[in-house]
Amino acid sequence: MPEPEHIPDNQRASSLLRPLLWVLAILGAAYLPLFLGKIIFFRDIAHWGFPARAFLRDSLARGELPAWNPFQGLLWSQIILSIQLPLTVFPLIFLTSSRKVMGKYATPPRERFLLWIVATVIAILNIMLLVQILFG
């Protein structure tokens, strides 16, 4: 393979242009049907479940970008991850504290005590979060 200095300018330009064309093609395939109100595959069935033109019109009328709110999805994903966290932390502390599993690298007693306190606080906060979500 030739060194980067010896590549002709036209080949260098085409190597930079290809990824850009791929990105534009993918974005065009994904968003052009949304803006035109046409779905490429299964057009009629998709319009029943997802009326793209109405969604676009309503979003623009509210002054929003025509896209779903990514922050709402981010919020719920973080809530789910925080609920899952104690299910990961408690076994991790148990395994890293075990001399049978870790041998001489096992967590010392003072650190183990602090880890169990932190894990318990995390679990209590998650229980409080669940109660707040479920019961207002």
Tens digits of residue pLDDT in 105-135: 999 999 999 999 999 999 998 888 888 877 8
Residues 74 and 105 in one domain: yes
Residues 131 and 78 in one domain: yes
Q: Given a cut of 60, is residue 45 above it in pLDDT?
A: no
What pLDDT was estimated at residue 135? 84
Q: What is the pLDDT of residues 49-93, one digit of tens each?
A: 556 667 777 777 887 766 666 666 677 788 888 888 888 999 999
Residue that is last in its domain, among 35, 61, 87: 61
Number of domain units in the chain? 2
Q: 12-42: string of b/e by CB count within 10 Å (b at 16+)? A: eeeeeeeeeeeeeeeeeeeeebbeeeebeee
Residue tagged 């991790």 (tokens): 92
Residues 55 and 81 in one domain: no
Residues 75 and 121 in one domain: yes
Whether this model's pTM surpasses 0.85: no
Residue that is last in its domain, among 61, 79, 105: 61
Residues 96 and 130 in one domain: yes
What is the span of the domain harbouring residue 46?
4-61
More confident residue, 1 or 55: 55
Residues 75 and 129 in one domain: yes
Residues 108 and 51 in one domain: no
Residues 86 and 49 in one domain: no
Residues 92 and 131 in one domain: yes
Residues 125 and 87 in one domain: yes
Residues 127 and 86 in one domain: yes
Q: In this structure, which amino acid lies at residue 66?
A: P
Helix pair 70-97, 109-135: axis angle to 10 deg: 150
